[in-house]
Chain A
Amino acid sequence: MGYVAVTGGQKAIEAADRINQWYRIKDAAHSLETIEIEKQLRHLTDRVMSEGGLYASEYAALAIKQAEGDLCEAAFLMRAYRSTLERTYESEIIDPGQMRVIRRISSAFKDIPGGQMLGPTMDYTHRLLNFTLENEQAHVLQELLKEQIPEFDTNQTLSFPKVAGLLREQGLLFPPKSSGALFDITRDKLTFPAPRSAKLQILARGETGAMTALAYSSMRGHTTNHPTVGELRVGYVEVTIAYPFDSSESLCLGELMLTEVETINAFERDDQGDVKLRLGYGLTFGQNETKAIAMAILEQGLETKGETPSQDEEFVLLHVDSIEANGFVSHLKLPHYITFQSKLDVLRQTQKLAESEKTETPKE
């Protein structure tokens, strides 16, 4: 049977809202400034923007505050908010190859053109609680770090060629198996097999934890596939649109921070018998490195045939969305009285039937 809605409870719901506010603020010395969340909890803000599919750091910080740090709830708020806004333009194609990088590494090659740059990372930092942060003076630290300004050259190149480009030039890379037309999952109904652009769009706004778990399962148990990060880069890209009054010109709207990952996967033999490498691709809003790597692993898994869960297109693409998964699981908290009563009715009838069958069965 279908779900039967309930009504009423208005006063209790309003009171619950007030109580929620009370628990959020009752022990606080001051209300959290959203700018503090935006500027000091960068990874949290980036994650909410990425999973919400909306690049708006101020609003992501607000959503985090409103949701009291519940990431799924915050991403949900972002997704709900975006649905209230008009979409006025599409950007011109962003090429992360033109990225103004702040971090760029390769696990495959020691020497890459332009060199590797660790940039802002905790990869090599000891996992020890830093108690000095409890009494940190922001301005003292800022002044100290400002003093360490290196020499700089305004003519310095700020973007670098991709590592994969070198492999491509040498004819070592396979083209992807699937492609298809440009698809928009926010406007068109998804059917399977999905075009490559739809897969990438779903993964780009997928939930980090779900994607990491599936990518981990792919690497750990089900295949011998252990990809290598050919290149991971974090930095800024320009967003441009065609100028609305003259499409031969472009308008620059500012910069976004993105993380891009290209993984190098197992090599295979092509139809001509040549052995080539397969590349996986990940691109996310903000600095979301684990998610971008997971995206590259998952999209590559979906390009190959196999029996593992991470190679099942429908399984992966329908379960990585934070809003859908969280919404479906948490809706179990809402009243299901009629559904459950009907379950009980069926159980009682079955028991009654079993009882009557027992009494009717002649004893031997």
Chain B
Amino acid sequence: MSVQILDRELERLEALWAEGLSDSYRSYVEVVAGYETEAQPKLALAAALIEVGLRLQGLGGHAAPPPTLLMGDLCLARASRLLADSAGQALQVAFAQAIETVSAAAASGQRSRPVRDLLVHAFAAGR
């Protein structure tokens, strides 16, 4: 799976690649193996962007300062576009539900399952 394919998808987010996005991306590479080969890099990147984006925002913890929050927002938006481009309806819905779960828990002051667990589950549900 070539990371070069993803270059154009990392516009404005290049700095995040070295700051954990690449690790997160790699952790999803195996998870997306059951999906169409062409879609796999984008799906793995979408999941990584959601994970990193929510972390940047400080969701469930201390609120990020505004510029960092906006970077987190861009990660979520980019992930949403990648999913719209490459994922079927079921996977798009499953990913959205995962974010709804963690953000509802954060708003309630409750702990939720780790984002990665939810996204891995979403990949299984969206297949």
A, B: real partners: no
- Residue numbers of A with Cβ under 8 A of B are none
